[in-house]
Amino acid sequence: MSSTSTGRPTREDVERTARERFGFAGLRPGQGEAVEALLAGRDVLAVMPTGRGKSAVYQLAALWMPGPTVVVSPLIALQRDQVEALARTGVRDAVAVNSSQSARENGAAWEALSTGGAEFVFLAPEQLAREDVRERLRALGPSLFVVDEAHCVSSWGHDFRPDYLRLGDVVTDLVGPGGTRPVVCALTATAAPPVRREVLSRLGIPGADVVVQGFDRPNIHLEVLHETDGEAAKRAVVVERAATAAKPGIVYVATRKDAEAYADDLSHLGLDVEAYHAGLSADDRTWVHEAFTCGDLDVVVATSAFGMGIDKPDVRFVLHASVPDSLDSYYQEVGRAGRDGEPSLATLCYRPEDLGLQRFHAGGGPDVEALAAVAGAVHDGGADGAVAAARDVRDAAGLSASRTTSLLNLLEQAGAVRVTRGGAGWVDASVPVGAAVERALELAAERRRTDRSRLEMLRGYAETTGCRRQFLLGYFGERLEQPCGSCDTCTSGSAARVHAQKQAVTADAAGAGGGWAVDDAVEHASWGPGVVMSTDGDRITVLFEREGYKTLALAAVTAGHLLTAA
């Protein structure tokens, strides 16, 4: 094989490997760039649409890198699928270590890694929180640390899976005998700028190469069904749309109860349909997953627990019976349709009242008493230069392990404690309890404001009369110059009228000194620094670091000198 003067493989080497070992006709946009960065020892965050070869990035790089590859994967079902997919390629063996396997199975996996019989090991963040697992990995000397579905760091790490926020510590803890840590590769299909920023920060790779490919999925027709006549009317609309749409499809709902009810309604219409939610047994969830993948079901009605990693190219529709928490979540789930490139449908059934539940969730903050209990336990345990074990903090505060970890994450982000990975996981107090709690609450409030702003952007998408695809891509920082022609507002003609009006207003605004452009860095006197995400006629949307998304009237911005170039 040829190589550069540095001994690294050339782009031609990588492309040849892709053809000969994976059967690719060629590298897709972004793949070569990301692989080259990894082989040069640079960390990478790759944001690529589903079906565009994200997994191939780390698989190609791993073939040229010594030592095994650690892949952080969020779901056991997804780990299983990924192991089987690698087995089908015949490129390198892969194993998983997780709680669903017996001790003998996990032991065999470690043995395969230690003898060189396996290149890839798939683990959940909770496994990596264990010192014995990290000790085994350190001995193996992994060269590549992959975080698949990296948006979960932001979307799950603050709530029910706090170990996602500790993956940066894990990377630091995997320094090999030569004193170097593994190169990090974070992969996701959908991540708006705030999510990308948090992923880089949490993984400890602020200087990583960020490779972002286009978010547009032009084969997916976007539509919003507005329903104002109550819950029963909405249910009828959802059932009718799911029944008449091309199959197979996924209906996303907010609760387990809704999943069962909608599945029952569709079943009475003669469809092969199953509900999927966290209340099912693991065996039942696996059965639904496999039945849908194999084509034995017309529809799955599911909570957000379903769909991640499903390698089913012919999903013809994704229908949301209720609004999700953000456009990030919405587009992540929409991306499960039309992976084969054929026409598909993404439908959002929208009632303004449904936003209330999401606002409620976005408005909640940490329990002050629980936060104070954790901070107090840390402070008491860390007196006189000593340290407090994380498990002792948990016991003293009287909280579960995951809740304690979540609150410790928040206190550490506030600079109030320092959590290390040595020994049993030590916690070192650094500031008084009152100040620790106050700063942590301030940070939590900032996050809530950002979450609420993201929800408002989803409302804007649902209520716009302009091109929905222009709005959606603008949220992710991508500009679409003309209406797409493949959404309900384009079909109705309203998008063209709105676009013409905005063009005229934009020209007037530019002449009046309001000519802000996408990606311009700006500063607001109260909200601080931000970046222009989209310009929309007489309005401008700015993503502020501390406040989230704000949509401002250009006339007010210009008259009040609200924004200055940063």
Reported as a single tens digit per residue, the pLDDT across 487-506 is 999 999 999 998 887 776 65
Q: What is the mean pLDDT of residues 516-524?
A: 81
CATH number at 220-360: 3.40.50.300
Tens digits of residue pLDDT in 106-142: 999 999 999 988 999 999 999 998 889 999 999 999 9
The conformation of residue 310, written as its DSSP 8-state character, comes to -
What is the percent of the chain where pLDDT is above 70? 90
pTM beyond 0.75: yes
| pLDDT above 80: residue 518 | no
Q: What is the pLDDT of residue 74?
A: 86
Q: Where are the domains of the chain?
A: 11-212, 220-360, 364-431, 445-565
Q: Where are the beta strands (DSSP E) in 271-374?
A: 273-276, 299-302, 317-320, 344-350
Q: Per-residue pLDDT tens for 208-260?
A: 999 998 788 999 999 999 987 888 899 999 999 999 999 999 999 989 999 99
Alpha-carbon distance of 552 to 276, in angstroms, equals 41
The CATH architecture one would assign to domain 364-431 is Orthogonal Bundle (1.10)
3-state secondary structure of 487: strand
pLDDT for 437 equals 85
Is the Cβ–Cβ distance between 139 and 146 less than 8 Å? no
Looking at this protein, which amino acid is placed at residue 198? Answer: E
Tens of pLDDT, residue by residue over 333-374, are: 998 999 999 999 999 999 888 877 666 655 567 888 888 888
Look at residues 490, 450, 551 and name the one whose alpha carbon lies nearest to residue 194. Answer: 450
Quickly state the pLDDT bin for 1 (edges 50, 70, 90).
very low
Mean pLDDT value of segment 281-307: 90
- DSSP annotation of 130: S
* Cα 47 to Cα 187: distance, rounded to the nearest angstrom: 6
Tokens 């079909």 found at = 491
For the segment 383-407, the average pLDDT, to the nearest whole number, is 76
b/e per residue, 447-472, with b = 16+ CB within 10 A?
bbbbbbbbbbbbbbbbebebbbbbbb
Count Cα neighbours of 230 within 13 Å in the Cβ-side half-sphere: 2
pLDDT digits (tens, 9 = 90+) for 92-101: 689 999 988 8
pLDDT of residue 51: 65
Residue 5 confidence class, pLDDT cut points 50, 70, 90: very low
Beta bridge partners of 145: 70, 184
Report which listed range, 46-50, 312-316, 416-420, is most confident: 312-316
CA distances from 529 to 166, 211, 469, 480, 550 (A): 27, 23, 27, 25, 12
> Would the pLDDT of 468 be above 90?
yes
Question: How many angstroms separate the CA atoms of 437 and 416, rounded?
Answer: 8
Per cent of the chain over pLDDT 90 is: 39
Segment 203-220, tens digit of pLDDT: 999 999 999 987 889 999
Residue 379 confidence (pLDDT) above 80? no
Domains 11-212 and 364-431 equal at CATH topology level? no
> In the predicted model, what is the mean pLDDT of the chain?
85
Q: What is the 3-state secondary structure (H, E, C) of 347-399?
A: EEEECHHHHHHHHHHHHCCCCHHHHHHHHHHHHHHCHHHCCEEHHHHHHHHCC
Give, in degrees to the nearest 5, the angle at Cα 328 between 325 and 330.
65
pLDDT interval class at 422 (50, 70, 90) = very low
β-pair partners for 318 = 250, 346
The model's confidence at residue 382, banded by pLDDT at 50, 70 and 90, is: low
- CATH, domain range 11-212: 3.40.50.300
